[in-house]
Chain A
Amino acid sequence: MLVLHSHIPYVKRQGRWPFGEVWLFEAMAETYIPLLRSLKKLREEGINVALTFSFSPTLLEQLASRYIQQEFINYLHERETLAADDERYFISRGEIEQARIAAFYHRFYRDIRRDYLIEMDMDIVGCLRQLQEEGVIEVLTSAATHAYLPLLDYTSLQYQVHWGKRVYEHYFGRSPEGFWLPECGYFKGIEDILIDNGFRYFYVDSHAIEGGKPIEVFSGEESVGLEVETFASTGLSTYRPYRIEDKDITVYGRNAMISNQVWSADFGYPGDPDYREFHKHEMRSGFKYWKVTDRNNPMDRKLVYSPEKAMVRAGQHAHHFVRSLEENSREAVKLGFAAPLIVGCYDTELFGHWWWEGVDWLEEVIRELHHSAQLEMITANSVGPAQHEAQVFESSWGMGGKHYMWNNAETGWMWEIIKKVGQEYETLKFLSYNSEISRRTVTQALKELMLIQSSDWLFMVSNNLTRDYAMKRFFDHYTKLLRLSDSLTIGQLDEDFESWLGRVEYEDDFLNLRDHSGSGGT
């Protein structure tokens, strides 16, 4: 079972470059569209595909937005022009290898634009819906704004899950069965809210089920005060799904081995010397012309990238991966699992965006799985009820295995605010009954509340990446929420307020489910 979790925070109309919408455009051009293209190709070859995707509601809403769709076309035009400029530049300097890569980028963005306009009709969500209806993929939903659930108050949890479900229903025309816990963040009790909302299964990291040491999926800057928790060994295994003890819901555990194979900075595939180096780019255009070469080499000692060589490596790695899966499953059979389940969970954006060759690798993996006598791809909606019961540890897939990445000395004050505004909203929402404008105000307050709760701001502050952007977003949504709440409380909903409210609704028009044509939003 391959589960790809896709998420971009709500960046629409919240800055373009270097921080903001460009994050979304990169993921669309480098990951989502190439992946959909691969799936189409595999289908045409008659290959069986059964892939699980989760799409966060913030991402779905943005992908369906007319504004984002138009801006994305502009973005692709810009990339094409820049690639052409780069090509001329390298030719003028006699750097033929780089010029070839620039030409490759030029074609790449042109093709993406063509596919996006013609094949997909700018409707990525529609493509997903169709693939799901054809049984090629299963799409899960997630928390409305990708909040880190284990530390959220109860009512906010309900909003996050409820709106995660609503957005999904809006875009996919059916109820979601599986829920992706953002960051695999689990605590005992969340399953009750999932059950109440009709979910049948969710996913956790391997140590949540098996115990032991968590997998290190994240290798960022060294963090002071990190507590790596060692979880008691349970004797359970991720080779099978479990029913949560006394509850009517199933949990799938991520397989540690195959996660590491792809994720690990030290021995995972993406660090291969022939693959494209993510961190070095041409200053003028942002395009990347170098290969990893040696992971320990400084950036000025990277050699020029060769796409052909990298493709060969991707094929070899895919072959290696499927052989490892077969090996893994034989071991599991020896251990007594008649039909072992191997669950691999990854961030979708790893493929293509971070690991440039990742999409080709994945395509080849699916092809090899189709030909494997031993293995079969599967999605959770076709697995029967779990036979065994388990309790699951409070955990996440982040560094340290628990809450550290989102809750530490750097972010403690943010949680205080999140908690406080959550409580305040509970009082506020009862003030909405008397007029259309007060109803609009409360609705917008809920959107701002949920945008404050995005795990992304906490992660960026912890990780010291684009920290100021995250802090600014956090404070801006907070200030909007306070202004909404203050105006409502004192009843000052005059013309000035209404025109301001209109602007805020336009800026944060998240969760606009009014248009039921399937591609709502503006």
Chain B
Amino acid sequence: MKVLMFSWEYPPHMVGGLGQHVYDLSRFLVHQGVCVHIITPRVKYYPDFQEENGVFIHRVGSSYREVENFKSWTFRFNSEAIREAVVINHKVGGFDVIHAHDWLVAYAGRSVAKIFEIPLVTTIHATEHGRNLGLHNRLQQEINEIEKNLALEADRVICCSRYMQEEISSLFGRPLADLKIIPNGVDPEVFQALPERPRFSINDEDKVVFFIGRLVPEKGVCYLLRAMPQVLKAVPEALLVIGGRGPQQKELERLVQNMDLDDRVLFTGFIYNEERNYVYNKARVAVFPSLYEPFGIVALEAMATHTPVVVANAGGLSEIVQDEVTGLKVTPGSEGELAEAIIRILTDDGLAERLLNNATQEIDSVYKWDVIARSTADVYEQVQTRRQIGIRS
């Protein structure tokens, strides 16, 4: 089985969670005996061709710079990706499956699959409609259109949660049966490494409440900030660490100043993996108050680091966490419920312990990458067989 993946992100080019996903999926697919080639944008100082963990990585086009016209850059990348695909397709003796991750590589995926008559699988990690809670301008409508045509043209669509399955089906009109749910995975090993010298330090007496993610409104960080005064009243040693950066950062920092929380809230800015592990080591609870979350990989990661979680009952998060069993769930946007749940975990060690044990079991049975890679390889085999007997769903 030979698969060609198109992905906008691949380490070290990481913007959201996509790069990590494609990285893990591809190396575990190799364990399943799948031959994986990935076409992804060039990164400065990285080779155009590289074999890593048995995965063949092809970097093409210009490296992404934020100043450029993003759409033009994307389409130019697609054209270069097609060029590369044409060449490696004959070198490997023809791919069996094309796998396109998200709209950014939609045209490369669609055209190569069509012209080379190879089945197309796509993973829709999130939708433009969901990310923006609606479509509010021309660009968003265009992206929505591209996502829709990708979802409709693919032989099979993979999504990460029941929530996303329903969203894709209702937005684009593809029957639920064509949309295969394969959850994202987590690899506990990657949370082991610690930094030699973190850029910030946390005192042992601080009871760390940890949020990590992009600072955008859909992540709901402002509700967490507004819950903090109540938390501090009950647990004065509580310290909120906000890991990550994003367009909302300035606004959130102002909010902290206005609430006079400066000494109990720490913004790390961009956070390296080792630093993240360092915080998780100290953290007593991880909180993800998202309004929209296709999957909620962060909650899984927290569970993998043995940190109890509080999550908003939204999207994929609500499917990952079983309330009172593997974590605590609150109503999205409710500061009061957030505060209560955080206080319960910080003050009730028995509860924290119970949640952790259950979470660890769940991780080992459902969210392991080898399980996920096996399901993905199954999808590849199904589309290939269907093509051979002449069915196109």
A-side interface residues toward B, CB under 8 Å?
409-410, 412-414, 416-417, 464, 467-468, 471-472, 475-476, 478-480, 482-483, 486-487, 490, 492, 500
Q: Which residue of B lies closest to A490 (CB)?
A: B90
* A478 and B79 form a contact (CB under 8 A): yes
Query: For A414, A467, A482, A490, which residue has the most chain B Cβ atoms within 10 angstroms?
Result: A482
**Would you mind naming 8 contact pairs between A and B with Cβ atoms under 8 Å apart?**
A409-B69, A414-B75, A464-B138, A467-B145, A472-B111, A475-B110, A476-B114, A476-B115
List CB contacts (< 8 Å) of B59-117 with chain A: 69, 71-72, 75-76, 78-79, 82-83, 86-87, 90, 107-108, 110-112, 114-117
- Cβ of B252 < 8 Å from any Cβ of A? no
Q: Verify A479–B72 contact, CB threshold 8 A.
A: no
Residues of A within 8 A of B76 (CB): 413, 416
Choose among A471, A480, A490 the residue with the greatest number of B CB atoms under 10 Å from its CB.
A471
**Number of B residues whose C-beta is below 8 Å from A?**
26
Distance A209 CA – B134 CA, assembled complex (angstroms): 49
Question: Bound state CA distance, A354 and B79, in angstroms?
Answer: 35
- Cα distance, A342 to B78, chains bound together (Å): 48
**What residues of chain B have their CB less than 8 Å away from a CB belonging to chain A?**
69, 71-72, 75-76, 78-79, 82-83, 86-87, 90, 107-108, 110-112, 114-117, 138, 142, 145-146, 149
B72 engages A412 (CB within 8 Å): yes
Q: Select one of B75, B83, B87, B110 contacting A413, CB under 8 A.
A: B75
Contact in complex: A417, B79 (CB < 8 Å): yes
Q: Please, which residues of chain B bring their CB within 8 A of the CB of A486?
A: 86-87, 90
Asked if A472 and B79 sit within 8 Å, CB to CB, the answer is no
Which of B72, B111, B142, B146 meets A476, CB within 8 Å?
A: B111
Question: Given contacts A486-B87, A487-B90, A490-B90, are A472 and B110 in contact (CB under 8 A)?
Answer: yes
Complex Cα distance, B112 from A464, in Å, reads 24
Assembly CA distance A122 to B291 (angstroms): 60
B87, B114, B115, most chain A CB atoms within 10 A: B115
Verify A483–B78 contact, CB threshold 8 A: no
Interface centre among B75, B78, B87, B108 (most CB of A within 10 A): B75
Looking at the assembled complex, report how far the CB atom of B126 sits from the nearest CB atom of chain A, in whole angstroms.
19
Classify the secondary structure of A's interface with B: helix
Rounded to whole angstroms, the CA-CA distance of A351 and B119 in the bound complex is 43
> Of the candidates B71, B78, B87, B145, which one forms a contact with A468 in the assembled complex, judged by CB atoms under 8 Å apart?
B145
Question: Is the pair A413, B79 in contact by a Cβ cutoff of 8 Å?
Answer: yes
Task: Please determine whether A479 and B86 come into contact, CB atoms closer than 8 angstroms.
Answer: yes
- Chain B residues closer than 8 Å to A480, beta-carbon distance: 115
A412-B72, A479-B111, A479-B112 as given contacts; A468 in contact with B146, CB under 8 Å: yes
Q: Which of B79, B116, B146 contacts A483 (CB 8 A)?
A: B116
| Most-contacted residue by chain B among A410, A413, A476, A490 (CB, 10 A) | A413
Whether the Cβ atoms of B142 and A482 lie closer than 8 Å is: no
Residue from B69, B72, B87, B107 within 8 A of A471 (CB atoms): B107
Decide if B86 touches A475 in the complex (CB within 8 Å). Answer: no
Give the 3 A-B residue pairs with the shortest CB-CB distance, closest first. A475-B111, A479-B115, A479-B111
B149 vs chain A, min Cβ distance (A): 5
* Closest-CB distance, A443 to chain B (whole angstroms): 18
Q: Taking the nearest CB of chain A, how far is it from the CB of B41, in angstroms?
A: 14
Q: Is the beta-carbon distance between B149 and A483 smaller than 8 angstroms?
A: no
Closest Cβ neighbor of B148 among chain A residues:
A468
Q: How far is the CA of A410 from the CA of B71 in the complex (A)?
A: 8
**Distance in Å: Cβ of A322 to nearest Cβ of chain B:** 43
Contact B78 A475 (CB under 8 A): yes
State whether B82 touches A475 (Cβ < 8 A). Answer: yes
A479 touches B69 (CB 8 A): no
Q: Are B72 and A483 in contact (CB under 8 A)?
A: no
Residue in A closest to B82 when the chains form the complex, CB atoms: A479
Residues in B with CB closer than 8 Å to A416 are 76
Q: Return A172 CB to nearest CB of chain B, in Å.
A: 34
A478-B82, A479-B112, A482-B86 are known; give 18 further A-B pairs, CB within 8 A: A410-B71, A410-B72, A413-B79, A414-B75, A464-B138, A471-B107, A472-B107, A472-B111, A472-B149, A475-B78, A475-B107, A475-B108, A475-B111, A476-B114, A476-B115, A479-B111, A479-B115, A492-B90
Q: Which residues of B contact A482 (CB under 8 A)?
A: 82-83, 86
Q: How far is the CB of A179 from chain B (nearest CB, A)?
A: 31
Q: How far is the CB of B212 from chain A (nearest CB, A)?
A: 35
Considering only CB atoms, which chain B residue lies closest to A504 in the complex?
B115
Minimal Cβ-Cβ distance residue in B for A464 = B138
